[in-house]
Amino acid sequence: MDAKLKSITIKLASVTVFRAVTESGVIKKLLKFLKCDGQAEEKIELYCSFVSELYKNGCDLGKYMLKQVLEDENEYVILHAEKQEVAPCMIEAVKKELEIFSEISRISSKDIAKIEDFDGFLPSFENTNVDFEKEYDKKIDRLFKDGYGIYSKYYMFNIRGGEITPLKSADPISTFDLIGYENERQKVIDNTKALIEGKPAANILLCGDAGTGKSSTVKAVANMFASEGIRLIEVQKEQLMSLPVIMEEINHNPLKFIIFIDDLSFNKTEDGFGTLKAILEGSASAKANNAVIYATSNRRHIVKESFSERDGDDIHRADTIQELLSLSERFGLTIQFSKPNKELYLRIVKTLADNIGLVYDEKDLFMRAEAFALRKGGRSARGAKQFVEQESARQ
């Protein structure tokens, strides 16, 4: 091994703040190759193992390292995210480690692939020259927009096994895909803007008829503001008991979060009722300062209640009824999504048909769209989409 590669190998061993980067698959295999003092056959095997791992991640060592560095969740970036002071010794360590990564990005594939007593073919790779210190400064400057760790890689999440887990195939829906309900959607947009700007933002209940685009609105708005620091975490009703833990985990994160609860309704005995109530009331132990709750429901009053329960033996029955019915009132903003009238329904049909280039006679299309709605039990935005998809398949 020449002196330059030996020097880099020693320097990589000293990396502290970005230790996770040196322990990532590609760099770990590169180090194993560089440290090998064995015969040519062993070195070739280790080199090719390193290149094979790199090929799985884009063939470019410099770009791979940059991605790892920018997404790394280390103490330095966490301190910046929490607006805490960073010790001078850590600042110096970060600077030196970034210089090491820059130095590696300037080495050619041919220089690394030199193996004594072997002059046969070895696979090459790309290596983009990167100024890591400059790029990382940009990262810190945009920390409150781009985040760090998994939140810099993904925009939507759900809860699995009690852990916040990224949705790698998240719904890409855009506000441009939604037709109608402009006033209702604008209220969600304005509230989300307030959250981004650090202004008071309300928890929102989107309620109304099925198929009117309530869930799509929440996801589309989250996608709309992803580059501005919005992340969406979807929580199922049966996971509401874990909300305080989730809120605690994201509370010091530099990003802003929409906690999304879809199709929400309760029986009065369900455990999540009290947890959600505490969070909506702003309990200090349950609420994160950088999060809002957006919930959808087909019911204006979220809690299901039977007539027999109203005639029960509770001495303070009126107070109990009010407690159950008032959960929805604890949302700061309630937005009603009603079934579209004929004019809106047909406008949605026509716009969707035009968007996919459907060939049609308008009078005939509208007549069949109305017949489709009749068979489905009523007009809805979802029904309009299903009808147009059916027409597209038929053509």
Q: Which of 47, 29, 23 is CA-nearest to residue 110?
A: 47
- The structure tokens listed for 363 are 């009078």
CATH assignment of 153-337, among 3.40.50.2300, 3.40.50.300, 3.30.2130.10, 2.60.40.10: 3.40.50.300
pLDDT of the residue at 308 = 46
Specify the amino acid at residue 112.
I
Kindly report, residue by residue over 220-260, the tens digit of the pLDDT. 999 999 999 999 999 988 888 888 889 988 988 999 999 99
Longest Cα separation, the chain: 93
More confident residue, 131 or 264: 131
Out of 98-112, 255-269, 279-293, 310-324, give the one with best mean pLDDT: 98-112
Q: How confident is the model at residue 272 (pLDDT cuts 50, 70, 90)?
A: low
Annotated domain spans of the chain? 3-141, 153-337, 342-394
What separation in angstroms does the CA of 253 have from each of 143, 149, 159, 192, 249?
10, 10, 17, 17, 8
Q: Is 333:299 a contact under the CB 8 Å cutoff? A: no
Q: Is 215:178 a contact under the CB 8 Å cutoff? A: no
Phi, psi of 303 (to 5 degrees): -85, 125
Decide if pLDDT at 136 tops 90: yes
pLDDT of the residue at 254 = 92
Pairing of strands 156-160, 163-166: antiparallel
Q: Is 237:191 a contact under the CB 8 Å cutoff? A: no
Kindly report, residue by residue over 188-219, the tens digit of the pLDDT. 999 999 999 999 999 999 998 888 899 999 99
Pairing of strands 230-234, 156-160: parallel
Q: Please state, as a whole number, how many other Cβ atoms lie within 10 Å of the Cβ of residue 243.
A: 24
C-alpha angle with apex 167: 163 to 170, nearest 5 degrees?
150
Rounded to whole angstroms, the Cα distance separating 239 from 237 reads 5
Q: Is 349:365 a contact under the CB 8 Å cutoff? A: yes
| DSSP assignments along 172-215, one per residue | ---GGG--S-HHHHHHHHHHHHHHHTTS----EEEEESTTSSHH
- The structure tokens listed for 150 are 């998994």
Contacts with 191 (C-beta within 8 Å, 6 or more apart), sequence order: 201, 202, 204, 292, 333
Rounded to whole angstroms, the Cα distance separating 175 from 181 reads 11
Q: Which of 248, 243, 162 is CA-nearest to residue 203?
A: 243
Kindly report, residue by residue over 346-390, the tens digit of the pLDDT. 999 999 999 889 988 999 999 999 999 999 888 988 999 999 999
DSSP character for 155?
S
Decide if pLDDT at 306 tops 50: no
Contacts with 292 (C-beta within 8 Å, 6 or more apart), sequence order: 191, 192, 195, 201, 202, 203, 204, 257, 258, 259
| DSSP assignments along 213-236, one per residue | SHHHHHHHHHHHTGGGTEEEEE--
pLDDT of the residue at 270 = 62
pLDDT of the residue at 317 = 47
Q: Is 243:236 a contact under the CB 8 Å cutoff? A: no
Rounded to whole angstroms, the Cα distance separating 99 from 85 reads 22
Q: Please state, as a whole number, how many other Cβ atoms lie within 10 Å of the Cβ of residue 384.
A: 28
Rounded to whole angstroms, the Cα distance separating 337 from 207 reads 6
Residue 298 in 3-state DSSP? Answer: coil
pLDDT of the residue at 79 = 94
For the chain, percent of residues with pLDDT exceeding 70? 88
Decide if pLDDT at 62 tops 50: yes
More confident residue, 22 or 325: 22
pTM (2 d.p.): 0.79
First to last CA, the chain: 66
CA 27 to chain centre: 27
